[in-house]
Amino acid sequence: MNTRTEHDSMGEIQVPADKYWGAQTQRSSANFRIGVGLETMPAEIIHAFGILKKAAALTNHELRPEKMTDAKLAAVCSAADEVISGKLAEHFPLVVWQTGSGTQSNMNTNEVIANRGNEITGKELLHPNDDVNMSQSSNDTYPTAMHIAAVLALEERLLPAIDLLTGTFRRLEEENKGMIKSGRTHLQDAVPISFAQEISGWRASLEKDAELIRRSLPPLCELALGGTAVGTGLNAPAGFDTLVAEKVSSLTGMPFAAAVNKYHALTSKDELVFAHGAVKALACDMMKIANDVRWLASGPRCGLGEIRIPENEPGSSIMPGKVNPTQCEQVTMVAVQVMGNDAAIGFAASQGNFELNVFMPVMAYNFLQSVRLMSESIISFNNNCAAGIKAVPEKMHDNLHNSLMLVTALNPYIGYENAAKTAKYAYANNCSLKEACVRLGFLSAERFDEVFHPEEMAGE
C-alpha cells in the first residue's frame, strides 16, 4: 500500500496515499479496532458535519475575513459540499466506539475537508485545525452534528413514512365502513365494534405519534455550536453562535437556532432522550398494530381469520403451502430493537460529567439506527402488508353472532345479573343467547328479536 507522511502534535505517521484523512484519523483507526466495517460513524453524522463545517466557514468569513479569506472559504465550501453529497464517504473510516466526545470524527472531517480543499486549489491553503475547525471544538461540533442529523432524519425519513401508513389506514377505514365484528379485550370476546373503528384506532395512534415527534423537533433545533470547549465560547468571535445557526438553517431549510445555554448544550442530552422517547412511543404502537394484524389474520382455518393479508413468500421449509405474517414479524423485531436503543440512550445521557457528556457517539448511533429502522420497517409493512389487507365478512359475521358478549345489549331489559345468567347458560349448554334467554324465561322469543340487534351495538 502506498502511503504518505502526515503529522500532528504527537509526531509523524504514515497514511494511505489515496485517502484524504490525516494523522489523527489514522491514529484513531489504529487504536479503535472495534466493529470495523460494521459499526462505523453513521453517514447521517458525516452529512451533518459537512453542513456545519460549511456553515462555520461562511460565518468565519463574515466575522473573521482576515483569517477565513475568500480563497479559503471557496476551498472549504467545495470540499464540504462533497462531504454533504456523500461523494467522500470512503474517507470516513472511524467506528462509533472511539472517544466519547466524537473528537476523532470531528478531526476526520477537518482533515478530509482540508486535504480535499488543498487538492482542489492545488496548494497547501487549508489547515485542519486552524481553518476548517476555526471557532469550533469537537465538544460543540459533535453535539451539533447529532442534532442536525436527528432533525433531518425525523423530518425527511420517519415522518413521511408515518404519513404513508396513516394514509393507507384512512383508505381502509373508508372501504370497511359498516362492517361489524366482535370486539376483543383481554384476548376475550367483547361487545361489537366496526372494522373501520378498529382501523381508526391504528390510524389515530400513528397520528398521535407523529404529533409527539414534531413536538420534539424544536428542542433538537437548538445547536451547541459556538460553545467551543466548555461552553464559554473561547476562541469564537462574538455573535458566531447565532450567525452559524442561521447558516445551518439556510443550508438545511430547518429552523435551527443557537442554544441559549451552551453549558447545558454540551453536557446534557435531554433533547435527544425526549425525541427518542417519541420514536419509542411509535415503536410501541407499531408493535401493537402488527400484533393486531397477525392475530386477526391468524389461521387460515384454525385462527381468527377475520382478515387476509398479502402472501409474500413461503413460510416453511417442511410444511407445504404455509404462509406466515412476516411483515408483522419484522415490525415487532424492529420495535424491540428501538426499545433497547432507548435504554442505551437513556443510560448514556445520564453520564454527563461536569462540562461534557462523553457518550455521544453511541447515542447518535442508536438514535439514527432507530429512526432508520422504523422508517424502513413502516414503509415495508405498508407496501407489503397493510396496503393489501382485506376483510373476510363471513368470518366476522360468524364470530360476531357466536359471541356471548352480545348479551350486554340485554342489560337494559333484563338487568346485569339475568344477562350474566343468560350468557353462562348459553355457554354451558352450547346454545344461542336467544335460546338461553327464552328457556330461562327472561324474554319471549318475539321480544328478544325486538331488542337484540348486534349490528347496531357498534354505534358507527
d(CA 365, CA 34): 14
d(CA 54, CA 83): 10
| Mean pLDDT value across residues 13-37 | 96
Q: How do residues 302-324 score in pLDDT, each as one tens digit? A: 999 999 999 999 999 999 999 99
DSSP β-ladder status, 11-16 and 180-185: unpaired
- pLDDT score, position 43: 98
pLDDT of residue 459 exceeding 90, the answer is no
Q: Which residues are catalytic?
A: 186, 316
**Is 51:41 a contact under the CB 8 Å cutoff?**
no
d(CA 297, CA 132): 57
Strand spans (E) along 204-354: 222-223, 257-258, 307-308, 352-353
Which residue pairs from 412-418 have beta carbons closer than 8 angstroms and sit at least 24 positions apart in sequence? 412/451, 413/443, 413/447, 413/451, 414/442, 414/443, 418/442
Q: How do residues 407-428 score in pLDDT, each as one tens digit? A: 999 999 999 999 999 999 999 9
Q: How do residues 128-147 score in pLDDT, each as one tens digit? A: 999 999 999 999 999 999 99
Q: Which of the 8 DSSP states describes residue 41?
A: P
Q: How do residues 107-125 score in pLDDT, each as one tens digit? A: 999 999 999 999 999 999 9
Segment holding 388, helix H or strand E: none
d(CA 124, CA 145): 27
Which residues lie closer than 8 Å to 188 by C-beta, 6 or more apart? Answer: none
d(CA 126, CA 299): 66
pTM: 0.96
Q: How do residues 331-349 score in pLDDT, each as one tens digit? A: 999 999 999 999 999 999 9
CA distances, 69 to each of 174, 307, 437 (Å): 61, 66, 92
d(CA 455, CA 406): 10
CA distances, 330 to each of 21, 203, 309, 337, 412 (Å): 38, 20, 15, 11, 46
Q: Which of 80-84, 350-354, 365-369, 389-393 has the lowest mean pLDDT?
A: 350-354
Copy the grid coordinates of residue 172.
Answer: 381502509
pLDDT of residue 1 exceeding 90, the answer is no
User: What percent of the chain lies above the pLDDT cut of 90?
Assistant: 99
d(CA 118, CA 58): 18
Average confidence score pLDDT of the chain: 97
d(CA 360, CA 228): 16
d(CA 324, CA 334): 17
User: Among all chains, which residue has been given the C-alpha cell 397520528?
Assistant: 207
User: C-alpha angle with apex 344: 208 to 90, nearest 5 degrees?
Assistant: 95
pLDDT-derived band at 352, boundaries 50, 70, 90: confident
d(CA 109, CA 148): 15
d(CA 202, CA 207): 9
Taken in order of first residue, the domains within the chain and their CATH numbers are 3-134 (1.10.275.10), 156-215+260-393 (1.20.200.10), 403-456 (1.10.40.30)
User: Measuring CA to CA, which residue among 107, 102, 75 is closest to residue 91?
Assistant: 107
d(CA 369, CA 390): 32
pLDDT of residue 35 exceeding 90, the answer is yes
pLDDT of residue 278 exceeding 90, the answer is yes
Q: How do residues 147-189 score in pLDDT, each as one tens digit? A: 999 999 999 999 999 999 999 999 999 999 999 999 999 999 9
